[in-house]
């Protein structure tokens, strides 16, 4: 016992970190890594939960490549992400800049903008489905005040995705705004003061000082929002269930449909595996970009 204690005493700096990360890493191994390995294993099988998995080799993957809906759902996922990431970042930044000055009611504004962030996707989906209802909803009513004609939001192949994107913006802008607010406060005032002396106007100050100084914040937000975009599910499941047609079918929802509605675990796992690979590649690219920067 004494020996062990003594040994630990001597090597505590080397041993301590392993003990510190142990709870996290063990939980990851058990509840993340093992399931992922299991998923990859199942992707080479035909399996319906009941009964034993039946080995089918690459059959699921072959089927995947000619599956029109898979590619559509991949495309929709990209569409959704490409629209929500810049828009929520831009509006978040705009709000943050407006709020980053001594304005009356600041804490109240901040709370209002952040409030939607804490609402669950399911609840948000319900509220906005109700808002967008063409017959009883508020949204078209409000638009008509501005003289804009009614739109069949969730039931038209053209407008369903924009409707979901609008809902997402409501949910995510506050999040970006708060992070940008933090980023802006880290910009030293002395830079602006120097610019004032040089006679720069607000626009120039924004492009020359603010934007470059908050670049790390922007990178952080983009990464987080891309993750959100790729994983979107609950919102779409509640609002359109992927329809009309396949106009809002995204990848996680397609996985869900195959696994939980049709009971085709093998195929669902194959989609999951391909999706996982895509994510890995994306992460690697992101890391590369991050590294080049620093």
Partner 1 sequence: MEASKKGGIKMKVFNKAGFILFVSLMMGLFLAGCAGASDGSGVESNSAGDSDKETVEFVYWAAAGGEEEAFLDMIEDFEEKNPDIDIKANQVPPPSSGDYYTKIQTRIAADDSPDVFRIQYQKFGEFASEGALLDVTDLFESEKENYNPSLLTAVTSESKIYGLPHHTDTLAVFYNKTYLDELGIEAPSIPEEAWTWEEFIDVASKIEDAGLADSGIAVNWSETSAYRALPFFFQNGATILNEDSTQGNVDTPEAIESFTFLQDMFKNHMTQGNSMKGSDDFNMLFSSGNVGLLISGNWMIPKYESDMKDFEWGVTYMPIKESAASDLGGNGMAIPAASKHSEAAKKFLSYMGEPEVMKAFVEKGLFLPARTDITEPFNYAIEDQEMLNLFIEQSQTVPEELAETVTTNNFSKINQALGDTLEELFISNTTPENAANSFNERINSILEEN
Partner 2 sequence: MRSTATTISHEEHPETNLQNNFQPKTNMKPSRRKRTFSAKKTIAFIALCFMSLLFIMPFFWMLSTSLKSPEEVSSKDVSLFPKELRWSNFVEALDAAPFLGYIGNSLIVSILAVVLTVFINCLAGYAFAKYNFKGKNFLFLMVLSTLMIPVQITMIPNFFILKELDWINSYAGLIVPRAAEAFGLFLARQYILNVPNSLIEAARIDGASEFKIFLKVILPNIKPLIAVLVIFTFMWRWNELAWPLIVVSEKSMYTVQLGLAMVKGEHYIEWTQIMPLTLLSVIPILLVFLFFQRYFIQGFVGSGMKE
List binders of partner 1 among 262-291 (CB under 8 A).
262-264
Residue 12 interacting with partner 1 (CB under 8 A): yes
Q: What minimum distance in Å lies between the beta carbon of 146 and partner 1? A: 23
CA distance 289 to 287: 5
- Alpha-carbon distance of 112 to 93, in angstroms, equals 16
Residue placing its CB nearer to partner 1 in the complex, 111 or 120: 120
The label of the residue with tokens 């948000």 reads 124
Q: How many CB atoms lie within 10 A of CB 225?
A: 22
Q: Does 65 bind partner 2 (CB under 8 A)?
A: no
Our CB check for partner 1 shows the closer of 28 and 260 to be 260
CA dist., res. 223 & res. 289, Å (int): 11
Q: Give the interface size with partner 1 as a residue count (CB under 8 A).
A: 37
- Measured CA to CA, the distance from residue 273 to residue 249 in angstroms comes to 18
- 181: nearest Cα among 89, 92, 86: 92
Considering the complex, what minimum distance in angstroms separates the CB of residue 141 from partner 1? 16
Whole-angstrom distance, CA of residue 216 vs CA of residue 221: 9
258: DSSP letter = I
**Beta bridge partner(s), residue 55:** 45
C-alpha to C-alpha distance for 272 and 267, rounded to whole angstroms: 9
- Closest to partner 1 by CB, 64 vs 152, is 152
Instruction: Please give the C-alpha separations between residue 265 and each of 32, 46, 232, in angstroms, as whole numbers.
Output: 18, 7, 20
Reading the block at residue 152, the tokens are 């069949």
Please report how close the Cβ of residue 275 comes to partner 2 at its closest, in angstroms.
8
Residue 109, binding choice from partner 2, partner 1, none, Cβ under 5 to 8 Å by partner class: partner 2
Confirm or reject binding of residue 110 to partner 2 (CB under 8 A). yes
Closer CB to partner 1, residue 81 or residue 248? 248
Using rule CB under 8 A, residue 120 touches partner 2: yes
Closest CB 201 distance from partner 1, rounded Å: 48
Write down the least CB distance from residue 130 to partner 1, Å: 9
Give the interface segment with partner 2, choosing from 15-23, 56-64, 66-74, 241-249 (CB under 8 A): 15-23
- Binders of partner 1 among residues 125 to 184 (CB under 8 A) are 129, 133-136, 152, 154-157
SS (H, E, C) 37-54: HHHHHHCCEEEECEEEEE
The closest of 254, 251, 275, 261 to 48, measured between CA atoms, is 261
Going residue by residue from 146 to 185, which x/- string records binding to partner 2, judged by CB under 8 A? ------------------------x--xx---xx-xxxxx
Specify whether the CB–CB gap between 191 and 214 falls below 8 A.
no
Q: Which of 3, 13, 14, 50 binds partner 1 (CB under 8 A)?
A: 50
Q: Does 277 bind partner 2 (CB under 8 A)?
A: no
The residue from 2, 51, 147, 190 that contacts partner 1 (CB under 8 A) is 51
CA–CA dist 180, 100 (Å, integer) = 10
Q: Binding to partner 2 (CB under 8 A): which residues in 212-231?
A: 216-217, 220, 224, 227, 230-231
- Positions touching partner 1 (CB under 8 A) are 5, 8-9, 12, 19, 46, 48-51, 69, 129, 133-136, 152, 154-157, 239-247, 257, 259-264
């Amino acid at each position: 016992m004494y020996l062990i204690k003594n040994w630990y005493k001597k090597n505590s700096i080397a041993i301590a970190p392993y003990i510190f990360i142990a709870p996290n890493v063990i939980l990851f191994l058990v509840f993340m890594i093992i399931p992922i390995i299991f998923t990859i294993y199942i992707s080479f099988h035909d399996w319906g939960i009941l009964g034993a998995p039946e080995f089918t080799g690459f059959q699921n993957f072959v089927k995947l490549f000619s599956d029109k809906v898979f590619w559509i759902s991949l495309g929709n996922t990209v569409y959704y992400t490409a629209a929500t990431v810049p828009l929520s970042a831009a509006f978040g930044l705009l709000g943050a800049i407006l709020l980053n000055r001594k304005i009356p009611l600041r804490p109240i504004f901040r709370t209002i903008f952040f409030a939607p962030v804490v609402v669950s996707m399911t609840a948000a989906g319900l509220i906005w489905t109700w808002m967008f209802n063409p017959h009883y909803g508020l949204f078209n009513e409000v638009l008509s005040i501005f003289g804009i004609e009614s739109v069949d939001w969730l039931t038209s192949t053209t407008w369903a995705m924009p409707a979901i994107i609008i809902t997402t913006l409501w949910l995510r802008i506050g999040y970006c705004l708060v992070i940008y607010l933090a980023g802006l406060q880290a910009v030293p005032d002395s830079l602006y003061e120097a610019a004032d002396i040089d006679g720069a106007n607000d626009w120039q100050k924004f492009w020359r000082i603010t934007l470059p100084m908050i670049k790390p914040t922007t990178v952080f937000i983009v990464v987080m929002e891309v993750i959100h975009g790729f994983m979107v599910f609950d919102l779409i499941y509640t609002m359109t269930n992927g329809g009309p047609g396949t106009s809002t079918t995204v990848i996680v929802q397609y996985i869900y449909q195959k696994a939980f509605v049709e009971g085709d675990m093998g195929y669902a796992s194959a989609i999951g595996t391909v999706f996982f690979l895509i994510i890995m590649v994306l992460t690697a690219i992101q890391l590369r970009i991050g590294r080049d920067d620093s």
